Amino acid sequence: MSVVSRTRPEVRRRIGAAQAALFVAAIAAAGTTRIAGEVGAKELAERIAKEKGRVVLVNFWATWCVPCREEFPDLSRLQQNYGSRGLQVLGVSTDFASQVPGVEKFLAEQNPRFLNYRKKSGGDDQQFIEAMDKAWGGELPFSVLFARDGTKAKALSGKHTYREYEKEVLKLLGP
């Protein structure tokens, strides 16, 4: 039995978080991270604002969420098919810092055609959720569509098919 497994849960959590942070730092130093950065509500709003003139689909997901993993390839396909018409998909992993190695592995396997961020650790999760959509209960997957002018156009709760996303995206992209 390792020393870590014999320690109190809080200490194990902190050690796990520290190990994950070291892992992320090592990957970043090697230049191989697939996570574009960490975002809180403010940073995500700024990132969306940078895409003004484009339709933005922000998808909140986690590696432990089966429906999230199932719809993920469709989001990449949307970006591939409609990026040239003005769509920008952004992914936000809600996995904990200790799960970053799993996030990296998932992104390496999926090779998405869009940027993926990780929700910043700490802070008030409810404030983050409400900043994205006041009606969001925190369930995953959850997506928010923004029109070209940066205004929120629609929130989509739960898993959706490629065709369902495509229908909503096309309404905003126009002819």
Tracing tokens 């895409």 back to the chain, one arrives at 51
Q: Of the given ranges (12-16, 78-82, 154-158), which has the lowest mean pLDDT?
A: 12-16
Give the pLDDT confidence of 73-97 residue by residue, as tens digits. 999 999 999 999 999 999 999 999 9
Question: What residues have CB less than 8 Å from 24, skipping those under 6 apart?
Answer: 33, 35, 97, 100
- Locate CATH 3.40.30.10 in the chain: 34-173
* pTM greater than 0.85 (yes/no): no
Contact 48, 150 (CB under 8 A): yes
Protein fold of 34-173:
Glutaredoxin (3.40.30)
Q: What is the mean pLDDT of residues 29-54?
A: 89
